[in-house]
Amino acid sequence: MDVQRVSRKTVYQNQWIEVFEDRIQRNSVDGLYGVVRRDDAVVTIPISPSGRTLLLNSFRYPTEQWSLEFPMGGIESSEDPYVAAPREFQEETGLVGKVTAVGQFFALPGLTGQKVFVFRADVTDADLEAARTPTATDGSDDIEGQRVVKVADLRDYIREGRISDSLTLCSILLAGL
């Protein structure tokens, strides 16, 4: 498909996102496209030898709902995902674990080019029980506790609607859980 950007105008920006209005030509037809630029992100799936994992209970302002999610966060400018994953995992949980890459995906390719890198962190059951809820300093996160659950129960959590966050859902699928 022949698509060319003719012009780009920033219509909104803050420290987390930038929204563009792109004038495009697709197969010689003029069009308009909205694009959101967001930093790439990392998701870390902690897994213990007994097959348990950790989900954070995060309040998400746009949906006005609580959301069970794996620990995740943004990749800082010019930061390697392999450096960001253990940093974000520790910031979100207070834990340190051996982190290995699982894969990657685009979060919402019809709207943003944001790439999500998924990692697994090998932790002990004691680590999971000792995980701490992070304290946000920038007003962007509202996390109230965490849940240690069996990996085998994740599919039930999805069916019941207890897990509905797309990054967590895609990470479960990518990790084969």
Number of domains in the chain: 2
* 117 and 33 in a common domain: no
Domain hosting residue 19, numbered range: 3-37
* 125 and 111 in a common domain: yes
| Mean pLDDT of all residues in 137-158 | 77
Q: What angle do CA 82, 148, 172 make, to 5 degrees?
A: 50
* 140 and 55 in a common domain: yes
pLDDT of residue 144: 62
> What is the reported pTM?
0.88
Which CATH number goes with the domain that contains 110?
Answer: 3.90.79.10
pLDDT of residue 143: 54
* 124 and 81 in a common domain: yes
In this predicted model, what pLDDT tens digit does every residue of 63-84 receive, in sequence order? 888 899 999 999 988 899 999 9
Rounded Cα gap, residues 177 and 102, in angstroms: 11
